[in-house]
Amino acid sequence: MKSKMDNGIRHITPAGANIFSELGFDESQAQQLLAGAEKEVRQLLVLKQQLMQEISGWIADNNLRQADAALKLDISRPRVSDVVNLKTSKFTLDALVTMLVRLGKPVSLTVGQSISFRPDAQI
């Protein structure tokens, strides 16, 4: 029996457009939401880059070939290349932290309160 489910694409938001505007938020709120989302993405990228640089530094400090590093990290050699080349979109923070733990490097997070944080602020 053939499914009657409609899986067609209804709308595509153009590159560079504000997805929040497309979702129907008023322009002011859409700009605020987009700015917040972009800030979160930038912060995540910085964290990933820091962890990747730490792993890359360990590889360099130990004069390892990528194949040898892959064995120690328990990942494939192409994944090591992705780390060394800072391909952040290919990794989660979890995966990068796990790699550092496998290297015997302690990882700690410090969480601070944003100066602009207001518990009563509405989004």
> 70 and 80 in contact (C-beta within 8 Å)?
yes
pLDDT tens digits, one per residue of 24-78: 999 999 999 999 999 999 999 999 999 999 999 999 999 999 999 999 999 999 9
Contacts of 102 (CB under 8 A, 6+ apart): 72, 73, 74
* Residue entry with tokens 């008023």: 26
When pLDDT is cut at 50, 70 and 90, the band that residue 14 belongs to is confident
* CA distance from start to end of the chain: 46
When pLDDT is cut at 50, 70 and 90, the band that residue 120 belongs to is low
> 89 and 45 in contact (C-beta within 8 Å)?
no
Q: What is the pLDDT of residue 42?
A: 92
pLDDT above 90 (res 11): no
Locate 23 and state its tokens.
């979702």
Asked whether the whole model's pTM tops 0.85, one would answer no
Structural domains in the chain plus CATH codes: 51-109 (1.10.260)
Rounded CA-CA distance 107/100 in Å is 7
pLDDT above 80 (res 122): no
The sign of the dihedral angle between the CA atoms of 77, 78, 80, 85 is positive
Instruction: Report the run of H or E that residue 72 belongs to, with start and end.
Output: helix 66-73
The larger pLDDT score, comparing residue 2 to residue 100, is at 100
- Distances in Å between the Cα of 76 and the Cα atoms of 51, 69, 72, 79 are 18, 9, 10, 5
